[in-house]
Structure 1
Amino acid sequence: SALSFYQKSLEIRQKTLPSNHPDFGAIYSNIGALHQDMGDYSTALKFYQQALDVREKYLPPKHRDLATSYGNFGSIHSSMGDKSKALEYYQKALEIRELSLPTNHPDKANSYICIGSVYDSMDNYSSALSCFEKALEIQKLTFPENHPDFADTYSSFGSVYSSMGDKSTALSYYQKALEIRELSLPPKHPNIATSYNNLGTIYSSMGNKQKALSSYEKSLEIKQACLPPNHPSLVTTYNNIGLVYQSMSDYSTALSFYEKAYEICEKNPQLSQLDEAATTYNKIGSAHHSMKEYSIALSFFEKALEIQSKSPNPKNRSLAVTYSHIGLAYHEMNDHQKALTFYEKAFEIEQKSLPDDHRDLATSYSNIGLVYDAMKDYTTALSYHEKALVIREKKMSSDDSVLASTYNNIASTCYEMENYSSAVSFYKKALHIREESLAADDPTLATTYNNIAAAYKSMNDEYNALAFYEKALAIRLKKLAADDPSLATIYTSIASLHNLLKDYSNAIMFYKKAIQIREKSSSAEDLELGTNYSNIAIVYKSVGDKTNALTFYKKALALRLRKLAVDDPSLAAIYTSIASLHYSMDDYSNTITYYKKAIEIREKSSSSDDPELAT
């Protein structure tokens, strides 16, 4: 292997040359690079330091080999997540190269790419683009058009445009990089794997899951052929494949890939304390969260936090992501105060490290808003959702699904505040995006139609409410089993609207559909079934069918007597309704019996001057 060759070469030189000979600088540097490629960062750092010690002692201060050493230090610190140190060393390397090399030397282009990549990772996109443009300018004067170095620069441009949300431009640059690499490199070269990985990431962000998966699998195939089985780069690819399966709701397959990444992290002591491990723990936690296994998810998020808390840069963005994940887990577990605490920790880091209009800040505003929604503090919730919207309308395309979710969040909060016209307005903004981007029978559309219908119903606009409920029902009938409990809910809503519109035959038909589902379900004793019995009884009473009305009122009463205390105030209303029916049927004995039951409950639960009692 290359490593054994370099080690033998080192042994020979150690026997034949003085310990301070300049040749040791090159061999230490080469051995360090091999260890870095193998993911053994601590050993790589040791050899890089030995190379630098030799070179600083015996070379003039502006020698190009010193620039190489500083560049190696920049690379290793970047791999270890210490971006500020990486930037410092890369800039030292560039400073030497500016003084010692010709204007168009390719090493200067390489320095600009390295510095630009660090700026990209720090979200300083304008500085990153400036560096990459300088690199490209040098390369165009130096290399033929299909030289592999162009691919590195195009990939770097793709990364920045991806981070900026310009996905089509990013895709174009990534495709250029792949074309060059496939023409100029061996078919199993790691850089081709990197290109496929980049394409997978951009396809995933564009919602093209099949192309994303295909690209990631090509990347994995190449990496497995040319890298050791526990190489850190495999962690990234396994995690990316897992993420696609998770987005397709195939959580068991997603977990299997995350666990492969986890195994590599566990076997590699260096990796187990780096961001790759924390990222993997976060992804495993995220899959368990999607499976509603919130306590398991929380345990993995806390493992990620433990690693990141020991980081040389404990206020980094990855830590903010973990705080957000922990906040989400607590939110789902209904511990809203803890959720808020962790969301605010994430926000604090982001606020210090990101521009005011960064999309991650919008995510934090949205998360905090949802917690306040859950705490029923709707005014505060709305203010956070609106802050998220300001950023997202500025930074996202008008058809972005995240923007649709933001409109939906604002609409839901407005609905809870009984501002129904604003709710309809924002639900329709969300609907416009979703109708353009989703399949016509996507369940998300059904939910949006349902929400708009509920808002119209609250505004007493029965015709519009009915139209949107029917749209929601059409999708759900395609997607759900005929006895799905959620169908009972929408049948009930449609029935109530037909009743309000005095379309009693349709009201009865839809109430019967709801009752049929609920009577068969495992929750046949649910009080909602009792409400359906009462509702259909009211409709039968409206059409003068006293026998059916009485039958369903008594079914409602029997169910409620099984579920409620005998003096529950809601029973008084149903006793009164039954009494009224008996009276209309000239059955005065039962009329008195049921009125007495109603009076007995109301005397216990009401003040003596309660108007209901007088009635």
Structure 2
Amino acid sequence: MKRKIFAEDHSSLISIYGDMAAVFKDMGDYSKTLEIYEKVHQILEKTPPLMQRALTTYYNNMGVVYKHMGDYWRALDFYEKALQRRKTIMSSELQSITSPKTPSIKPYKPLSRATTCGNIAKLHTSMGDYSEALVLNTRALKLKQSRLYSNHPLLPNSLDNIGTVYKAMVDYSKALEFYEQALKIREAILPSNHPSLAISYSNIGEVYSSMGNYSKALEFNEKALQLRESTLPLDHSSLANSYNNIGTLHKDMGNYAVAFEFYQKALELRKTARPLNHSNLAVSYYNIGKIYQYMGDSSIALQYYKDSSKNFAKVLSQNHSSSATHYDIMGSVYKNLHDYPKALESYTRAFKIRSKTLAPNHPSLVNSYNCARQVYSKMHKYSKADEFLGPPSKINTNSLSMSHSSLAISYNNLGVVNANMGYRFKALELHKKALRMKEKNLPSNHPDLATSYNNIATVYKQMGNYSEALECYEEALKIRQNILPSNHPLLATSYSKIGAVYNAMGDYSKALEFYGKGLELRNNVLQPNHPSLANSYNSIGTVYKNMDDYSKALSFLEKALVIQKEILPPSHSYNQQLVDEIDYVKSHI
């Protein structure tokens, strides 16, 4: 109606265009959103000075869209323009309010500056610049505290933002401190069934999950779900978020069937949402694909990952960091299917995206480098790896501050790269640095510590230092036994690694004991054709062969071959290697 009455550039259309842009943004159609906001900008440029305050809102909205698109530098530019305008307007209006000539002008609210500071802080968090994010979030909180009473409903949001930064910095005690402060305010001013309490429960649950305290994490996430189910419509998107969070916890605990059930609930809800949120759909498809992958059904996993890809493609720019994450996922699936050319294509895409958008030492870039090099290594194309990715020496951690929260990740990834290339002393040094960093920042039973002990043990085993390898593998097993359910597949991995060391040491009875524990656990929790079962049968068969018990060796090796033929192409080299091994055993019976 307004467009029929007013010209296309009339200021009265600003609100209509704003509403239209918001709808397209919710639909994930960011190019259309930007197009409409550009019309708003053209109108604002022609409006009187008193209307120019709306430019600040325009800059802020543009920042939000570019943030969703993953174009953080453009988003930062618009947020900073918004902040600068708010400062300018505040300054001019505080001066003019004392003049009798402008009695109708009200001072610009300082709380708007807090909002912009918070927006810029979120960008810095997304970019991994946690120190700057912390400074800006703290400034936003202080601006609010200077204008609001102590239990004001606007304060929990700022406290949550600070908690999120501390969580990203792996300072879980500080993260809990701020999340609990936010919860305390919400509990003081809101009814006991208010949906906002669920936000606090979820945040606290995430921290406990990161700490490896899955029972506590489940407790808080279930509280969030119960509250949402009792107060929100059955198709509300927040319910899908709760289902997703609980599904992830069960996945981490090894309860794949339960995880699948919750992930499926989240997917069904997200399919019916209007407008469709393609980012959330992509996450749901990915999560279900991951469960199939864990259960050993890589072909179905790949289909879900492809569905995830289609949805990501609808909302993400080509350089968006989440696109890189998606290519990592696809690369992982193709690698598991032993389709190395396609795996390499996916990993290389991820590496190129991150090379354009991240600092050279960003841990995510190091991870992409590591994944791509691993595939080149599988294909025995080391010179090609150097040609397309550069040598490992081009990625270093010298420019990172020792307080950088992701430094341990970089050390870990570089350690894996160097180990794959045979640089074992360098790999050992890097893995030990990663372990020291984690020990400073994580609880003593955190699962990431077990990962570091495993990495160190693997290098020691490659070096023939079996006593040190055994000690580190046992340390990893001890941590996992303390925090994981007794049927978790990672325990089977630990048993198998310890069995491999005993086998290398020639202690075959001990090797069979630990390989047997791993096989028993895997038989209880995995699909009959899972590749990990083939590995267990193969390992036990190899031990019996080493003991010259060829009849038992044949039994286990043939079981391994049956599984491998189900999951690998007939011409795959792994099948031929196993056939050769079986022929050797048969010749000695």
The answer to whether TM tops 0.5 is yes
SS at match of 1:20: helix
After superposition, the Cα gap between the structure-2 partners of 1:285 and 1:143, relative to the gap in structure 1 and judged at 3 Å, is same
Q: Does residue 318 of structure 1 match 2:364?
A: yes
What residue number does 1:20 align with? 50
Q: Which position in structure 2 is the counterpart of 1:293?
A: 339
Match of residue 229 from structure 2: 182
Conserved? CA contact 1:235–1:262, under 8 Å? yes
Equivalent of residue 371 in structure 1, options 393, 417, 420: 420
Tell me if structure 2 keeps the 8 A contact 1:389–1:407. no
What amino acid is aligned across from residue 263 of structure 1 in structure 2? K
Distance 1:7 1:390 in 2: 52
Q: CA deviation at 1:276?
A: 1.3
- Say if 2:200 is the partner of 1:153: yes
Residue-by-residue CA offset, 1:364-402 (whole Å, 9 max, x unaligned): 365256426xx3x66666556666666778857769598
The answer for the alignment partner of 1:120 in structure 2 is 167
Compared CA separation, residues 426 and 55, structure 1 to 2 (3 A)? closer
One-letter identity of the residue aligned with 2:363: R
Contact 1:350 1:360 in 2 (8 A): no
Give me the whole-angstrom Cα distance separating, in 2, the residues matched to 1:436 and 1:228. Answer: 39
Mapped contact 1:320–1:349 kept (Cα < 8 A): no
* Structure 2 counterpart of 1:410: 457
Contact 1:431–1:448 under 8 Å retained in 2: no
Structure 1 residue 194 and structure 2 residue 241: aligned? yes
Instruction: Tell me the residue number matched to 1:451.
Output: 500
Deviation at 1:527, TM superposition (A): 9.1
Map of 2:311 onto structure 1:
264
* Partner in structure 2 of residue 6 of structure 1: 19
Q: Equivalents in 2 of 1:487, 1:95: separation in Å?
A: 61
Partner SS for 2:233? coil
- How far did 1:79 drift? 6.2
Is 1:236 the counterpart of 2:283? The answer is: yes
Q: Deviation of residue 265 (structure 1)?
A: 3.7
Instruction: Output the CA distance in 2 between the equivalents of 1:79 and 1:485.
Output: 39
The answer on whether the counterparts of 1:456 and 1:465 sit within 8 Å (CA) in structure 2 is no
State whether residues 159 and 181 of structure 2, in contact with CA within 8 Å, keep that contact through their aligned partners in structure 1: yes
Taking the aligned partners of 2:56 and 2:196, their CA distance within structure 1 comes to 22
Cα RMSD (Å): 5.4
Residues 301-450 of structure 1: pairs in structure 2 closer than 5 A: 301-311=347-357, 313=359, 315-335=361-381, 338=385, 348=397, 352=401, 360=409, 363-364=412-413, 367-368=416-417, 370-371=419-420, 375=422, 395=442, 403=450, 406-407=453-454, 410=457, 413-414=460-461, 417=464, 437-438=486-487, 447=496
Residue 325 (structure 2) aligns with: 279
Q: Offset at 1:280?
A: 0.8
1:318 alignment partner, SS class:
helix
**C-alpha distance in 2 between matches for 1:15 and 1:383:** 59
- TM (norm. structure 2) is 0.67
Describe the superposition over 1:54-90 as per-residue Cα deviations: whole angstroms up to 9, x where unpaired.
6545444663233334434545665677766655554
Q: Is the 8 A contact 1:38 1:228 kept in 2?
A: no
Aligned match of 1:251: 298
Whole-angstrom distance in 1 between the partners of 2:264 and 2:118: 32
Task: Check if 1:170 corresponds to 2:217.
Answer: yes
Name the CA distance, whole Å, in 1 between partners of 2:119 and 2:513.
65
C-alpha distance in structure 1 between counterparts of 2:149 and 2:558, whole Å: 84
Deviation (angstroms), 1:238: 3.0
Distance 1:489 1:368, change over 3 A: closer
Partner SS state of residue 380, structure 2 = coil
Contact 1:245/1:251 (8 A) holds in 2: yes
* 1:609 corresponds to: none
Aligned residues: 514
SS at match of 1:272: coil
CA distance in 1, matches of 2:559, 2:165: 59
Q: Could you tell me which amino acid in structure 1 is paired with residue 193 of structure 2?
A: N
Q: Does residue 110 of structure 2 align to residue 63 of structure 1?
A: yes
Q: CA deviation at 1:311?
A: 1.8
> Quick check: which has more Rg, 1 or 2?
1
Give distance in 2, aligned partners of 1:40 and 1:357. 20
Consecutive unaligned residues of structure 2, counting only runs of 5 or more, are 1-14, 23-38, 91-106, 563-574
Aligned-pair distance for 1:290? 1.4
Q: Secondary structure of 1:139's partner?
A: helix
Task: Return closer, same or farther for 1:391/1:468 CA change in 2, 3 Å cut-off.
Answer: same
CA gap of 1:77–1:148, structure 2 versus 1, over 3 A, is farther
Is the CA contact 1:135–1:153 (under 8 Å) kept in the aligned structure 2?
Answer: yes
Sort the Cα spacing of 1:343 and 1:122 in 2 relative to 1 into closer, same or farther, 3 A. Answer: farther
Alpha-carbon distance, 1:34 to partner: 8.8
* 1-structure distance, mates of 2:377, 2:83: 50
Equivalent-residue separation in structure 1 for 2:18 and 2:204 (angstroms):
36
AA aligned opposite 2:300: T
* Partners of 1:8 and 1:430 in 2: CA distance: 52
SS of structure 1 residue aligned to 2:193:
coil
CA distance in 2, matches of 1:234, 1:129: 29
For 2:67 and 2:146, the matched residues in 1 are separated by: 29
SS at 2:208's partner residue? Answer: helix
Q: Residues 371 and 80 (structure 1 numbering): CA distance in 2 closer, same or farther, change over 3 Å?
A: closer
Cα distance change on mapping 1:437 and 1:27 into 2, 3 Å: same
Distance 1:227 1:300, change over 3 A: farther
Task: Choose between structure 1 and 2 for higher RCO, CA contacts under 8 A separated by at least 6 residues.
Answer: 2
Which among 255, 259, 264 is matched to residue 208 of structure 1? 255
Instruction: Output the CA distance in 2 between the equivalents of 1:156 and 1:331.
Output: 40
CA distance in 1, matches of 2:520, 2:200: 50
Residue of 175, 182, 185 corresponding to 1:138: 185
The residue type equivalent to 1:145 in the other structure is S
Cα displacement (A) at 1:319: 2.0
Q: For the Cα contact (< 8 Å) 1:109–1:138, is it kept in 2?
A: yes
Q: Which amino acid aligns with 1:218?
A: K
Change (3 A) 1:212 1:349: farther
- Following superposition, the deviation at residue 176 of structure 1 comes to 2.4
